[in-house]
Amino acid sequence: MRRNAIVAFILLMAVWLILVENLSWFSVILGGIISLACLLFTWKFIPLENVRDVRFFRLIPYGFFLLVGIYVQGFVVIKRILTGARLDIVEVKTELKSDFLKALLVNSITLIPGSISLNLEGDTITVLNLGHPNDENIYQSVNSNRSWLEKKLLKAQKSTEVSEKK
């Protein structure tokens, strides 16, 4: 727990210093205070110690991957809007077992332009999707977005055998 807190503090400080683009004492001290406040807020309201089936270090590249996906999908949505689009409500299944990773997937689907997650119940996600009017298979665009997100999240999920031993 202590090691994770130190790593999280260092990562938050690094992000702060990159965003501020200043390496003065004031920036470092202010970044330390803000990083500590973020950690305390997280411990108070998000019980991450109960999340035992996730490899958090494998989630680091996921953020960069998601940003690229958001950017690329934005252009796809612009094209769909200009050429015509239709709304569909689609239910898709997920292979994720971790509730934390399922919540992350649902929020990621909502961040991707052209789709909004409506409900998560068990392994089923209900998605409002902006599709192309000529698409015969309404599940195709939702499944393609979900599958590339889910593949990255599956790398962060610990296998069930490991989590059952602990």
> Reading across the β-sheet that carries 86-93, which strands appear in turn?
86-93, 124-131, 115-121
Please check whether residue 85 is in contact with residue 130, taking contact to mean a CB–CB distance below 8 angstroms. Answer: yes
Which residue, 39, 45, 11, 163, is CA-closest to 101? 163
Give me the mean pLDDT over the 68-79 stretch: 88
Query: Token match 């393609």: residue?
Result: 144
**Does 32 score more than 70 pLDDT?**
yes
CB 108 within 8 A of CB 142: no
pLDDT at 10 > cutoff 90: no
Residue 150: how many other CB atoms lie within 10 Å: 22
Q: What is the pLDDT of residues 112-147, one digit of tens each?
A: 888 888 988 888 888 888 877 776 666 666 666 677
- Interhelix angle 60-83/139-156, rounded to 10 degrees, is 170
Domain ranges of the chain: 2-50, 56-158
The 10s digit of each residue's pLDDT in 89-105 is 888 888 888 888 888 88
- Residue 145 has a pLDDT of 66
| Cβ-proximal residues to 22 (8 Å cutoff; 6+ apart), any chain | none
